[in-house]
Amino acid sequence: MHNPGHRFQAQDHFAEGAQYIAGRLAKGTSGRSHAVVDPATGDEVYTYELAGTADVDAAVAAAREAFPGWAAATPGERSDAMHRFAAVLADRAEEFAQAESLQCGKPIKLSREFDVPGTIDNTAFFAGAARHLQGQSAGEYSGDHTSYVRREPIGVVGSIAPWNYPLQMAAWKVLPAIAAGNTIVLKPAELTPLTSLLFAEAATQAGIPDGVVNIITGAGKDAGEHLVGHPDVAMTSFTGSTAVGRRVAEIATSTVKRLHLELGGKAPFVVFDDADLEAAVHGAVAGALINTGQDCTAATRAYVQRPLYEEFVSKTADLMATVRLGDPFAPDTDLGPLISFAQRDRVAGFVDRARAYARVVTGGEIPQDLKHGAYYRPTLVADAAQDSEIVQSEIFGPVLVVLPFDSDEEGIRLANDTPYGLAASAWSRDVYRANRATREIKAGCVWVNDHIPIISEMPHGGYKASGFGKDMSAYSFEEYTQIKHVMFDNTAVARKDWHRTIFGDR
């Protein structure tokens, strides 16, 4: 059972509202309210007023006002503030973990060991990286001038985040943006505002000036679209589904904004016949089930070379069946519910439709003892055709599909055969084979003999319909900065040589 004494009290903490504008909580003014539901119990844990367009305008105005001062701060000053930010997050780590598990139904061990420490590390990374923003070296490229490149912030960034890793997604958006001297308005998903609000609150506590980090909690259609189209927002950074990403791209493009899109995924997991089967089976189960499969890089399509196929299917099914579903706050729970009952039913729908053309080896059901929450059993599906819905569509739940292949070429071709290209893994003991897979698989990340780990120093972002642009790492500064060519004349003469093109020989 939950112990309410150890849970985050959202209604008390955010009694003043779920908008964070210019360093203060405020109520939304859309006239509509929304309930955050604990998906493990179905209980409402926080009801708040959604942001309307006026709240978006107020947040953008606050970010715009804060921009000149924050952009003019030295990299050292921004870095100091962000180091303090990391320290505040570390001090409040348990509170963040509890709030994240409460709103998402994530097992507390995942929040404590992955989401929260990952966010603290990201913050510390960008605190350091803030001092390493560089332009290219200066030089006399024309002979008569000195040229150099300035790297400058863009202005007010408007960001939109999904519900699967609310804290980490907020961090991935906010940190590179502010490290580079921008200010930001972030819209978290309506289902999961709590840790984005805590994150902004911690920024203020660390001394980051009011208006640098603002949170707008509203619906995608009105608050989200208004933010993307806002004339005072210079850049849009979106993480979410490919379908919504297309709409966001249309609005951002029509208002001529810098655009960064982190979209859906359908990661292949390619097991060659010389792979360590034990490692591949454990990697597949953990890689498919992390965060109840609601992970854009989760292993979703296992392609297994024919000699290992049957054994892989039976061992993976057996291991999946040992994963313990239950109360997210119990320390031994491995798998929590999905984010909502609607998402659970969506996942169940994919599996139920697949029964007509494929074999559900394990799972494929709602556990009756946990039906008060949005739980779904870890599911392995075999014998589906490559072009079937369950192989091609992003399910975003604890479902792994497994297919056989014969030649290495076929395995790589099948791995590349979806619209997505976010992440992939290759499993082999042969360095040449694995290296070939890393070259030929079209994805923003390819792991070898592992699947899932991420680190602050390395970029995350997609190929193909998984989007473009990078989160994390120094590469993210390419998104959140613009470069300016500065050119000084060195001749000090009134009649420049190139003026001949206008004045001829006069």
Q: Is 296 in the site for ligand NAD (CB under 6 A)?
A: yes
- Structure tokens belonging to residue 256: 């001529």
Smallest Cα–Cα separation from 375: which of 423, 403, 317, 335?
A: 335
**Nearest distance, CB of residue 467 and ligand NAD, angstroms:** 6
What does residue 455 show for φ and ψ, rounded to 5 degrees?
Answer: -140, 150
Q: Is 225 in the site for ligand NAD (CB under 6 A)?
A: yes
262 is catalytic: yes
Q: Is 263 in the site for ligand NAD (CB under 6 A)?
A: yes
The type of residue at 410 is E
Dihedral of CA 296/473/166/120: which sign? positive
Q: Is 166 in the site for ligand NAD (CB under 6 A)?
A: no
**Nearest distance, CB of residue 290 and ligand NAD, angstroms:** 12
**Nearest distance, CB of residue 102 and ligand NAD, angstroms:** 18
445 is catalytic: no
Buried b or exposed e, range 444-462, using 16+ CB within 10 angstroms: bbbbeeebbebebeebbbb
| Secondary structure, 3-state, 200-245 | HHHHHHCCCCCCCEEECCECHHHHHHHHHHCCCCCEEEEECCHHHH
By CB under 6 A, the residues from 71 to 110 that bind ligand NAD are none
Q: Is 174 in the site for ligand NAD (CB under 6 A)?
A: no
**Nearest distance, CB of residue 162 and ligand NAD, angstroms:** 3
Strands 399-405 and 379-382, sheet pairing: parallel
Catalytic residue among 100, 296, 394, 479: 296
Between helices 75-91 and 194-205, what is the axis angle to 10°? 120
By CB under 6 A, the residues from 394 to 433 that bind ligand NAD are 394, 396, 422
- 392, 284 in Cβ contact below 8 A? no
**Nearest distance, CB of residue 345 and ligand NAD, angstroms:** 14
Q: Which of 55, 190, 408, 479 binds ligand NAD (CB under 6 A)?
A: 190
Q: Which of 220, 367, 419, 459 binds ligand NAD (CB under 6 A)?
A: 220
Buried b or exposed e, range 472-487, using 16+ CB within 10 angstroms: bbbbbbbbbbbeeeee
Q: Which of 146, 147, 205, 241 binds ligand NAD (CB under 6 A)?
A: 241
Q: Is 229 in the site for ligand NAD (CB under 6 A)?
A: no
In Å, what is the CA distance from 170 to each residue of 136, 152, 389, 490?
A: 30, 22, 31, 46
Q: Is 462 in the site for ligand NAD (CB under 6 A)?
A: yes
Q: Is 18 in the site for ligand NAD (CB under 6 A)?
A: no
Stretch that binds ligand NAD, among 41-49, 87-95, 237-245, 269-277 (CB under 6 A): 237-245
Q: Is 239 in the site for ligand NAD (CB under 6 A)?
A: yes
Catalytic residue among 190, 262, 394, 479: 262
- 87, 206 in Cβ contact below 8 A? yes
Stretch that binds ligand NAD, among 42-50, 92-100, 260-268, 491-499 (CB under 6 A): 260-268
The residue with tokens 């112990």 is 3
In Å, what is the CA distance from 433 to each residue of 279, 439, 447, 477?
A: 17, 10, 13, 33
Binding site for ligand NAD (CB under 6 A): 160-164, 187, 189-190, 220-221, 224-225, 228, 239-241, 244, 247-248, 262-265, 296, 394, 396, 422, 462, 466-467
Residues noted as catalytic: 262, 296
